[in-house]
Amino acid sequence: MTIRIRTELTGEIATVRALIKHPMETGNRKDPAGKALLPHYIREVICEHNSQPVLTARWGPGISKNPYLSFQFGGAKPGDRLTLRWEDNRGGRDSMTVTIE
């Protein structure tokens, strides 16, 4: 599992905090032997609240390793479902669904 999510509800405003474990390699660095490291980065992050998108982010190699994402959205209530998913430039992907409390 590469995603950790925490949610906090204040009235109808949900605060989402997510940590994604990913190398986010730019392709500009070299390994100790001098061989270039191939690019490996998250291209898209989508977050859905009860199957409706609330965030779409298109990322590139300029995002740091193990990126942290925090945002807020309205219209949430306890028991709602929140799904966060990502896809990288090599076809890797992951998703996680949590219940807003």
Identify the DSSP state of 50. T
Q: Which residues does 95 contact at the CB level (< 8 Å), separation at least 6?
A: 3, 83, 84, 85, 86
Angle formed at CA 49 by CA 45 and CA 50, multiple of 5 degrees: 130
Print the domain residue range for 91: 3-99
Domain count of the fold of the chain: 1
Give per-residue pLDDT as tens, 2-23: 999 999 999 999 999 999 999 9
Helix (H, G, I), strand (E, B) or coil at 88: strand
Give per-residue pLDDT as tens, 24-81: 999 999 999 999 999 999 999 999 999 999 999 999 999 999 999 999 999 999 999 9
Helix (H, G, I), strand (E, B) or coil at 100: coil
Instruction: Write down the pTM of the prediction.
Output: 0.92
In this predicted structure, what is the pLDDT of residue 1?
79
In this predicted structure, what is the pLDDT of residue 76?
98
CATH number, position 89: 2.60.40.10
